[in-house]
Structure 1
Amino acid sequence: MTEKLKGTTTVGIVCKDGVVLAADRRASLGNMVLSENVTKVFWIDEHLALAGAGSVGDILSLVRLLRAEAKLYRAKVGKEMSVKALATLTSNVLHGSRFMPYFGWFLIAGHTGKPGLYSVDMAGGVTEDRFTAAGSGMEFAFSILEAEFKEEMTLEEGVKLALKAIKAATRRDVFTGGGVTLVTVTDEGYKEWSEEEIKGLLE
């Protein structure tokens, strides 16, 4: 079993009052589904989050590193790291390991003064975005995002759009499926939505 665990769709959307991250829950090995209950969106700090598409082990390793660095930053500086600083740190880590890379594509999101969203590829390239998607189903998610994203969307509108984008990828991409993890980050902090809350929005 030398193939990496892979295949997913992650989505990020900036709204006027926060930022939304969503991802499916399927993990696959080649053409085989190994799990339908994998978490791909993670808490980094009170107002910071990460979504990862790619190798599950590499994503978890990077999450542990970033959580430790965020805690160390708080201890040294006395305040939370900004979204931009976390994106830069992620970029530096990935670029520094590019010859033995983390196999993943990462969305960095948060609300530190204002909502922010960055996309970081496995070589450390960073792009600031208003909306984005990553993973094997990204083209299907982008078809929804590009058609329906609006500036100054409310958080509720952003949540519904993110779920719609993941649903589109689930229908067309065999590596995407198994339900949805949905996270919002506002000035009040990080929130992971329950299955009941998500189900209510999808009905």
Structure 2
Amino acid sequence: MSSLDRMNETQWSRPHARPGLDDALMSASTSSFVDLLHAVHPELLATAGVGTDGVQPTRATTIVAVKYRDGVVMAGDRRATRGHEIAQRDIEKVFAADEATLIGVAGAAGMAIDLARLYRLELSHYEKLEGASLSFEGKANRLATMIREQLTMALQGFVVVPLLAGWDPHRREGRVVSYDATGGHYEESEFASIGSGSAFARGSLKKLHHPDLERDEAALVCIQALFDAADDDSATGGPDLIRAIYPVVMSASEQGVHGFSDDAVAGLTNTMMSGRHGRPNGPGAASS
């Protein structure tokens, strides 16, 4: 359990008051968990400038998100790199932020995963204090603010770029928002990709996406895009059939967040591999 998780558990489960933390919580003029940390435990936030000479951060790579008929699917490869080395083969980069929202992260892996966890706490903290969930626009804006607060670290080479996707109950559709390292955020109409292999993944998504996809079809499109990215980008990992390591695939719809099981992703991967035996470069764009 991380220090942030322990703090969150302590804050909401212990009946006895703690000087400082509880005073700050009860007197807070904001519903932001990040602002509370700034006031009570600023050392837990990765915003202070530190020297980076000689530091080679582990980096997470390619994430894709695709809108389909009833929601949105997000998928991420499992490779993390350190320079030219493979640092980890089974890292997870796609997470449920709440019951309707997904976040994927690319960049400096440690900070990226901490950002995803902190964002999940931010949404949970807001809901506990306000008694209601943020709107999708509010969620997108909160994440932009959190990225902007890490700009100092980004300028020192520790760049984190997230991808946000989720179900919007007001519009009754899946939505996808991409970000840059300064916190700028941009809504995507059909699909998005981030990370070192994003250009190759986007080329694949352009060929394969159409708005009437079913959920499993959208998941297969994401897996195809990650495979194409891994084919040309050494920092993106393809499916590892020997070790049974497959992309993390999740969806968000009116029914909530759904994580595809390893067996389900393995089945979709086998479908993709069977199709590529005759066409190594993958399927072409459907004719209109």
Residue of structure 2 equivalent to 1:160: 220
Contact 2:105 2:116 in 1 (8 A): no
Deviation at 1:122, TM superposition (A): 1.5
Distance 1:184 1:132 in 2: 14
Is 1:58 the counterpart of 2:111 in the alignment? yes
Contact 1:12 1:133 in 2 (8 A): yes
Deviation at 1:11, TM superposition (A): 0.2
Residue of structure 1 equivalent to 2:198: 138
Higher relative contact order at CA 8 Å, sep ≥6: structure 1 or structure 2? 1
Residue of structure 1 equivalent to 2:46: none
Distance 1:122 1:34 in 2: 23
Unaligned runs of 5+ in 2: 1-53, 241-245, 271-288
Contact 1:83 1:108 in 2 (8 A): no
Is 1:197 the counterpart of 2:253 in the alignment? no
Find the partner of 2:236 among 154, 173, 176.
176
Amino acid across the alignment from 1:108:
L
CA offset digits 1:54-79 (Å, max 9, x no partner) = 11111122122211211122123322
Contact 2:104 2:163 in 1 (8 A): yes
Residue of structure 2 equivalent to 1:108: 164
Residue of structure 2 equivalent to 1:150: 210
Distance 1:83 1:154 in 2: 22
CA offset digits 1:143-191 (Å, max 9, x no partner) = 1111221123222221111110011112221111153111111111111
Distance 1:13 1:82 in 2: 20
Distance 1:164 1:26 in 2: 16
Residue of structure 2 equivalent to 1:128: 187
- SS of the residue aligned with 2:216? helix
Is 1:10 the counterpart of 2:77 in the alignment? no
- SS of the residue aligned with 2:153? coil
Deviation at 1:105, TM superposition (A): 1.5
Q: Relative to total residues, which structure has the larger strand share, 1 or 2? A: 1
Is 1:92 the counterpart of 2:145 in the alignment? yes
Distance 1:199 1:120 in 2: 30
Contact 2:153 2:159 in 1 (8 A): no
CA offset digits 1:82-135 (Å, max 9, x no partner) = 332211111111123312336121110111313111001111010101201111
Distance 1:149 1:10 in 2: 16
Structure (1 or 2) with the larger CA radius of gyration: 2
TM-score of the two chains, using structure 1 as the length reference: 0.94
Deviation at 1:7, TM superposition (A): 4.6
Is 1:71 the counterpart of 2:130 in the alignment? no
TM-score of the two chains, using structure 2 as the length reference: 0.67
Contact 1:83 1:109 in 2 (8 A): no
Residue of structure 2 equivalent to 1:82: 135
Contact 2:94 2:104 in 1 (8 A): yes
| % identical aligned pairs | 28
Contact 1:84 1:116 in 2 (8 A): no
Unaligned runs of 5+ in 1: none
Poorly superposed stretches of 4+, deviation over 4 Å:
none
Amino acid across the alignment from 1:187:
E
RMSD value over aligned CA atoms?
1.5
